[in-house]
Amino acid sequence: MKIALIGATGLVGRKILQVLEEQQLPLDSLILVASERSLGKEIWFKNRPIKVVSMQTAIDEKPDIAIFSAGAAVSLHHAPLFAEKGTRVIDNSSAWRKNQEIPLIIPEINADVLKKSDRIIANPNCSTIGMLMAIAPLHRAIGIKRLVVSTYQSVSGSCTKGIEQFRKEQKGEISLNPAYPHTIYGNVIPQGGDFCDNGYTTEEEKLVFETRKILRAPQIAITATVVRVPVLVAHSLAVNIEFECAFDIEQIHELLHSMPGLVVCDDIANKQYPMPLTAADKDAVFVGRIRRDYSIENGLNMWVVADNLRKGAATNAVQIAKLLIDDVFFDR
| Residues sharing a CB contact under 8 Å with residue 272, sequence separation 6 or more, in sequence order | 265, 266, 288
CA 25 distance to own-chain centroid: 20
Q: For residues 54 and 32, give the distance between their C-alpha atoms in angstroms, rounded to a whole number.
A: 8
Residue 126: name the closest of 248, 250, 253, 15 by CA: 15
Residue 158: name the closest of 71, 32, 90 by CA: 71
Residue 90: name the closest of 101, 102, 100 by CA: 102
Q: For residues 230 and 284, give the distance between their C-alpha atoms in angstroms, rounded to a whole number.
A: 22
Residue 316: name the closest of 91, 115, 100, 153 by CA: 91
CA 278 distance to own-chain centroid: 18
Amino acid found at 222? I
Which of the 8 DSSP states describes residue 210?
Answer: H
| Residues sharing a CB contact under 8 Å with residue 215, sequence separation 6 or more, in sequence order | 109, 110, 132, 136, 139, 144
CA 312 distance to own-chain centroid: 3
Count each helix (H run) and each strand (E run) in the chain, helices first.
11, 13
Q: For residues 44 and 161, give the distance between their C-alpha atoms in angstroms, rounded to a whole number.
A: 23
Q: For residues 285 and 145, give the distance between their C-alpha atoms in angstroms, rounded to a whole number.
A: 23
Q: For residues 65 and 21, give the distance between their C-alpha atoms in angstroms, rounded to a whole number.
A: 16
Which residues are marked as active site?
126, 235
Residue 63: name the closest of 329, 252, 324 by CA: 324
